[in-house]
Structure formats: structure tokens, C-alpha cells
Chains A and B, each alone.
Chain A
Amino acid sequence: ILNVEQSPQSLHVQEGDSTNFTCSFPSSNFYALHWYRWETAKSPEALFVMTLNGDEKKKGRISATLNTKEGYSYLYIKGSQPEDSATYLCAFLTGFQKLVFGTGTRLLVSP
């Protein structure tokens, strides 16, 4: 059974703090890793699709790295803002085109 783990489960930081989360996934049969940002009552917003070992992607203040050999990805947020408060989900793409999700990291940024 494929298992994707995320840590921490939740995080509370102050505005301006930088933060990072971890996603662990199986290191064999890797196809891609997807990151999503999910605000309550909205659709999960696609952040990154990461495919190559050593990949590093950036979108504004958010960036992500990928290590497929050891099976982890980090998501970084630089200078967190209250509007960054959301649940951040990672999902491992299997060869059958299905996403296996982690439990998510719930981020709360206080002003």
C-alpha cells in the first residue's frame, strides 16, 4: 500500500516568519509529486508538479524541492502572510494516473 506522509500536521507562525513542510513518499516507481494549497470552502489550488530528482520550483514566495532517491519533498514559504493560511497537500502520482494524497499540513499565519 502506497503511503504518503506529511509533517508537521499543523503549524502556527507569525506574519513574516519563513516556514517549511515535509512530504515523504515511496522512492520507487516515481512518476511525479504534486503540491496543492487548499483553503476551506475552495478548490485545492495546484502549486507545483515536480518530476525530476533535484527539481526546484518557485511561485512567488513559495518554493519546493524534490529528492526522488530518498523519497521526500520540501515546501518552503518565505515571509509568511496571513493569506498563506491554508492546508498544504502533497500527492504522489502513481503509474496508473492516480494521486495518493498525504494528510496535509495545516498552516495558520497570525498577523
Chain B
Amino acid sequence: EPEVTQTPSHQVTQMGQEVILRCVPISNHLYFYWYRQILGQKVEFLVSFYNNEISEKSEIFDDQFSVERPDGSNFTLKIRSTKLEDSAMYFCASSEALGNTIYFGEGSWLTVV
């Protein structure tokens, strides 16, 4: 069964460093998302992406965050200058169309020290 894949599975980074989390969505999907879960809290929406542009973003998704689809398969989340509070599990997700099932990857666990 097709799946969303994410790399790395775990990354430890120093505060202030840039981090890029990578995702390969399911190949025929057109809508892409990033979510995150801070330990002990709910899974929360960060951003949705369609047709090579951001379609929706949350207030968490400030200027430190950016997303990109650099080629036909990858979808990346960049955090420019990480803060301690960015430590979380980051999930990439994709869906074929609006209203369809949204499929999640296994997550990338980011620890900022």
C-alpha cells in the first residue's frame, strides 16, 4: 500500500540552527500538510500546500517556518532558527483531493537542545 515517508526519523539540533524535515507524499496526491505534536499535547495543524503554494497556515507557522516542493516528489519543512519550543514530532500528510482521506507519515522527532 502506498505510504507517506519521512526523513529523518529523529534529529537533535542546537538552538538557533536550521533544520529541514523531508517528506515524500503518496505519488498521485495533490494536497500536502505538516502537523506537529509537542509531547503531551494534541496533534496540531501547521500548514497545507496545494498547487505549489500555501493554501492555509496556522498562527504557529510564523516566518521561521517555510515549506517547499523542490521537485515532483519531495515536500520539505524548514525551520530557520530553531527554538527549544520547536521540539516536537512533525508529521507530513497528503491527500488525493479535498475531502478525501488524509494519510500521515510516521513522523520526524525533532529535539532542540
Contacts and interface: CB of A to CB of B under 8 A. Distances in A.
Task: Give the size category of B's interface with A.
Answer: 20 to 34
B77 to A, nearest CB: 15
B42 A101 contact: yes
Interface string A90-111: 0101001111111110000000
Nearest to A102: B42
B43 interface: yes
Interface in B15-62: 31, 33, 35, 42-45, 48, 55-56, 58
Contacts, number: 52
Interface stretch (A19-27, A44-52, A64-72, A73-81): A44-52
Contacts of A36: 104
B99 A31 contact: yes
B110 to A, nearest CB: 16
A96 B104 CA distance: 18
Contacts of A104: 42
Interface of B: 3-4, 31, 33, 35, 42-45, 48, 55-56, 58, 91, 98-107
